[in-house]
Amino acid sequence: MTEYWRATRAPRYSLLFALPLLILYELLAHLIAGQAGVRNGADVLLKSLFVLLGGDVGLKIFAIIVLGTGLVLVSRDWRDSGSPKAAWFGGMAGESVVYALLFGGVTSALTGLLLHGPSALSAGQGQALSLPAELMVSLGAGFYEELLFRVVLVAALAKMALVWFGWRPWAAGTFATIVGAFLFSAFHYVGPMGDAFELGSFVFRMVAGLLLSALFLVRGFGIAAWTHALYDVFLMLR
pLDDT given for residue 45 in this prediction: 77
Q: What is the mean predicted confidence (pLDDT) over 102-113?
A: 91
CA–CA separation, 129 and 127 (whole Å): 6
Tell me the average pLDDT across 153-158. 88
Any idea which of 48-57, 124-133, 200-209 has the lowest mean pLDDT?
A: 124-133
For residue 131, give the 3-state DSSP assignment.
helix
pLDDT in tens, 167-226: 988 898 899 899 999 999 998 888 666 778 888 889 999 999 999 999 998 899 999 999
16 with 74: CB under 8 angstroms? yes
How far apart, in whole angstroms, are the C-alpha atoms of residue 76 and residue 97? Answer: 29
63-72, 73-82, 109-118: the lowest-pLDDT one: 109-118
Query: For position 21, what pLDDT does the model report?
Result: 95
What pLDDT, on a 0 to 100 scale, did the predictor assign at position 194? 73
**How many other CB atoms sit within 10 Å of the CB of residue 79?**
10
At residue 89, does pLDDT exceed 90? yes
Write down the pLDDT at residue 59.
80
Mean pLDDT value across residues 104-129? 74
State whether residue 165 is helix, strand or coil. coil
Q: Which is nearest to 143 in space by CA: 43, 11, 64, 45?
A: 43
Pick the residue with more confidence: 48 or 126?
Answer: 48
Of the candidates 193, 196, 189, 146, which has an alpha carbon nearest to the alpha carbon of residue 42?
A: 146
Contact of 218 with 209, CB cutoff 8 Å: no
Report the chain's mean pLDDT, rounded to a whole number. 87
Q: How high is the pLDDT of residue 123?
A: 47
pLDDT given for residue 71 in this prediction: 95
Q: Has residue 138 got a pLDDT over 80?
A: yes
pLDDT at 32 over 70: yes
